[in-house]
Amino acid sequence: MARFGKRLQGRVPVALLGSVSAVVYLLVAFRLQFSNALRDVVGFLVAIGALFAIYAVAALLVHSKSDRKHASVATILAFSVVFRVILLFAGLPHDRPVAALANDLSGTATGYSPFLIYDNDVWRYLWDGHLTANGVSPYETTPQEVITSAEEGSEPHATLLEDELWWDVVDNVSFQGYTTVYPPLAQYLFDLSNRLAPASVFIWKLLIVLADLGTCWVVFSLLRAIGRNRSYILLYAWNPLVIKEFAGSGHIDAVMVFLMMLALLFLVEKRQVAALGSLALSILAKVGSAALGVLFLRHTRPVVWCVLFAVLALGSLPMLGGLVALSGGLAAYAREWTFNSGPWAAIRWLAKVAGTSDPTAWAHWTTKLLSLAAIVVLPWISRPSKDSILRVAFFILAAVVLLHSAVMPWYLLWALPLAAVVGCWSWIGLTGLSLLSYLIYLDGIERAWWLWLEYGFFAALVALEWSRARSARMPATFTLFRR
Q: Is residue 453 part of a domain?
A: yes
Mean of pLDDT values over 256-280: 98
pLDDT > 90 in the chain, percent: 80
The reply to whether 240 and 389 lie within a common domain is no
Q: Is residue 17 part of a domain?
A: yes
The reply to whether 224 and 360 lie within a common domain is no
Q: Is residue 429 part of a domain?
A: yes
> Which DSSP state fits 342?
S
Mean of pLDDT values over 48-67: 86
Q: What angle do CA 200, 254, 300 make, to 5 degrees?
A: 140
Using the 3D structure, point to which of 224, 246, 268 is the last residue of a domain. Answer: 246
Mean of pLDDT values over 38-49: 96
Mean of pLDDT values over 296-321: 92
Tell whether the model's pLDDT for residue 20 goes beyond 70. yes
Rounded to an integer, what distance in angstroms lies between the CA atom of residue 177 and that of residue 165?
20
Return the pLDDT at 5. Answer: 44
The reply to whether 363 and 227 lie within a common domain is no
Beta strands in 291-418 (DSSP E): none
Q: Is residue 46 part of a domain?
A: yes
The reply to whether 242 and 341 lie within a common domain is no
Q: Is residue 403 part of a domain?
A: yes
Q: Is residue 358 part of a domain?
A: yes
Rounded to an integer, what distance in angstroms lies between the CA atom of residue 421 and that of residue 228?
8
Q: Is residue 387 part of a domain?
A: yes
Tally of domains within the chain: 2
The reply to whether 357 and 226 lie within a common domain is no
The reply to whether 228 and 375 lie within a common domain is no
Return the pLDDT at 65. Answer: 52
The reply to whether 345 and 471 lie within a common domain is yes
Rounded to an integer, what distance in angstroms lies between the CA atom of residue 334 and that of residue 227?
39
- Of the listed ranges 65-79, 85-99, 283-297, 415-429, the least confidently predicted one is 65-79
What's the count of helices (H) and strands (E) in the chain, helices before strands?
23, 0
Using the 3D structure, point to which of 246, 269, 304 is the last residue of a domain. Answer: 246
Taking Cα atoms as reference points, which of 220, 243, 195 lies closest to residue 29? Answer: 243
What is the SS3 assignment for 406? strand
What residue numbers bound the domain in which 400 lies? 337-483
Provide the β-strand partners of residue 339: 406
The reply to whether 230 and 352 lie within a common domain is no
The reply to whether 226 and 354 lie within a common domain is no
Contacts for 282 with CB less than 8 Å, ≥ 6 apart: 255, 256, 257, 258, 259, 260, 262, 263, 289
- pTM to 2 decimal places: 0.94
Please enumerate, as own/partner, the contacts of 415-420 that have beta carbons within 8 Å and a separation of 24 or more.
Answer: 416/236, 416/239, 416/241, 416/242, 417/215, 417/218, 417/219, 417/236, 417/257, 417/261, 418/261, 418/264, 418/390, 418/393, 418/394, 419/235, 419/394, 420/219, 420/223, 420/232, 420/233, 420/235, 420/236
Q: Is residue 201 part of a domain?
A: no
Tell whether the model's pLDDT for residue 113 goes beyond 70. yes
Return the pLDDT at 188. Answer: 96
319 neighbors 139 (Cβ within 8 angstroms): yes
Tell whether the model's pLDDT for residue 439 goes beyond 70. yes
Look at 331 and 232; give whichever has higher pLDDT. Answer: 232
HSE toward the beta carbon, residue 36, CA cutoff 13 A: 7
The reply to whether 241 and 344 lie within a common domain is no
